[in-house]
Amino acid sequence: MRVYLDNAATTPLDAEVMKTMCNVMESHYGNPSSIHAHGRESRALIEKARKTVANLLHTSPAEIFFTSSGTEADNTAIRCGMIDNGIKHAITTRLEHHAVLHTFEAMEKAGDIKVSYLDVDSKGNIDYNQLESLLQNNERSFVSLMQANNEIGTLTDIVRVGDLCEQYNAIFHCDTVQTMGHYPHDLGKLKIHFLTCAAHKFHGPKGVGFLYINHKIKIKPFIYGGAQERNMRGGTENLYGIVGLAKALELAYAHMSEHQAQIQSLKSYMIAQLKADIPGVEFNGEIAPDTSLYTVLNVSFPETDMADMLLFNLDIAGISASGGSACSSGTDIGSHVLTAIGASSTRPSVRFSFSKYNTQQEIDFVMTKLKDLFAVKA
């Protein structure tokens, strides 16, 4: 048996998405920017996909811009959102994805902005009072906070953050790469200015995402070279990827409740089995259903002399997962997230992440291999 539990990295492509994309590949090869019939047919498919995404998110198609990835969307939101709106102060955490952190670091190093980092507790929760204080005591700020952490799964209350940003006239960018397609997003109600997505996190294709830009915010293009995406992103559109993204999101919304119940059940089952069968096991981040992303479980195992080889040994045993440990020194390349929450640098950590395709039988298989690796007697 081979078990795939690295869905936070990427998910398998849904068969219906594959079928939809293949049909387009076979019959629609015109450049969407061409004015002839072949081009117009391709353009129509892109605009249909845009409308599908917008309808699911309760927003206008004019506010959805397709990108090559969540990383491009994050970079566009941060750089253009700050520079084009004359904002010099950013607020974020040290738990964010590197697409966010490295962008802020580069801008601060260039002297363009100043970055304030919110404190987080040992579970990765932000300090909302500190956020309000920073908003209150600085000029207009740009707030960038992910809805769910990609490594430990802790959720941020983006409704509360949005309300605070509105109160203090701040711009709010929310990285929803891990939550899009797993939770509903009503952009008609959420007070968010920029929102980012990557299709391959909800059984869509790699190499495509989108950026939502609230109509109240104006920015210049991040990528120049053509009039695509209503003059906002140069480059021939990834027609097949865009169609696949829309189909994947449509399927995710249609079956969201049942998939959430199924996956949460698997996560809860694995938590119970780990507690019962691996003495000394601990969990990084929140694990309660209302405070934790149901697709992610980050586990700290007891100290072992095979810590550096744990992921390799899991791979050999037929289990695909990811993880590592906190940095033990300034030169270590460990998890910046685990380091930020003060996790032990001597305990190996593994992120198990689930999808609709996983089964309880697979969790039982994983537990059997884990007990073998940690020499737990039955």
Q: Are 289 and 263 in contact (CB under 8 A)?
A: no
pLDDT band at 375 (very low <50, low <70, confident <90, very high): confident
- By CB neighbour count within 10 A (0-12 exposed, 13-18 middle, 19+ buried), where does 19 fall? exposed
> Given a cut of 90, is residue 123 above it in pLDDT?
yes
What would the mean pLDDT of 212-216 be, rounded to a whole number?
97
Beta bridge pairs of residue 291? none
Instruction: Determine the topology of domain 15-254 in CATH.
Output: Aspartate Aminotransferase; domain 2 (3.40.640)
Q: Are 92 and 145 in contact (CB under 8 A)?
A: yes
pLDDT digits 0-9 by tens, 143-185 = 999 999 999 999 999 999 999 999 999 999 999 999 999 999 9
> Given a cut of 60, is residue 22 above it in pLDDT?
yes
The predicted structure's pLDDT at residue 326: 59
- By CB neighbour count within 10 A (0-12 exposed, 13-18 middle, 19+ buried), where does 86 fall? exposed
Structure tokens at 235: 């480059």
Q: Are 5 and 354 in contact (CB under 8 A)?
A: yes
Count of positions (residues) in the chain: 378
pLDDT digits 0-9 by tens, 32-46 = 999 999 999 999 999
Can you spell out the DSSP letters for 132-158? HHHHHSSSSEEEE--SB-TTT-BB--H
> Given a cut of 60, is residue 346 above it in pLDDT?
yes
> Can you give the residue ranges of every domain in the chain?
3-11+256-373, 15-254
pLDDT digits 0-9 by tens, 298-328 = 999 998 777 678 999 999 999 999 986 655 4
Compute CA distances 86 → 78, 80, 82, 142, 191, whole Å.
12, 10, 6, 10, 20
Beta bridge pairs of residue 351? 298, 322
What would the mean pLDDT of 128-144 be, rounded to a whole number?
97
Q: Is residue 80 among the annotated active site residues?
A: no
CATH number for domain 3-11+256-373, candidates 3.40.718.10, 3.90.1150.10, 1.10.287.110, 3.30.2290.10 = 3.90.1150.10
Catalytic choice (22, 165, 174, 327): 327
Q: Which residue has the tokens 């390799």?
A: 312
Q: Which residue has the tokens 């869905």?
A: 7
pLDDT digits 0-9 by tens, 359-371 = 999 999 999 999 9
What would the mean pLDDT of 69-89 be, rounded to a whole number?
98
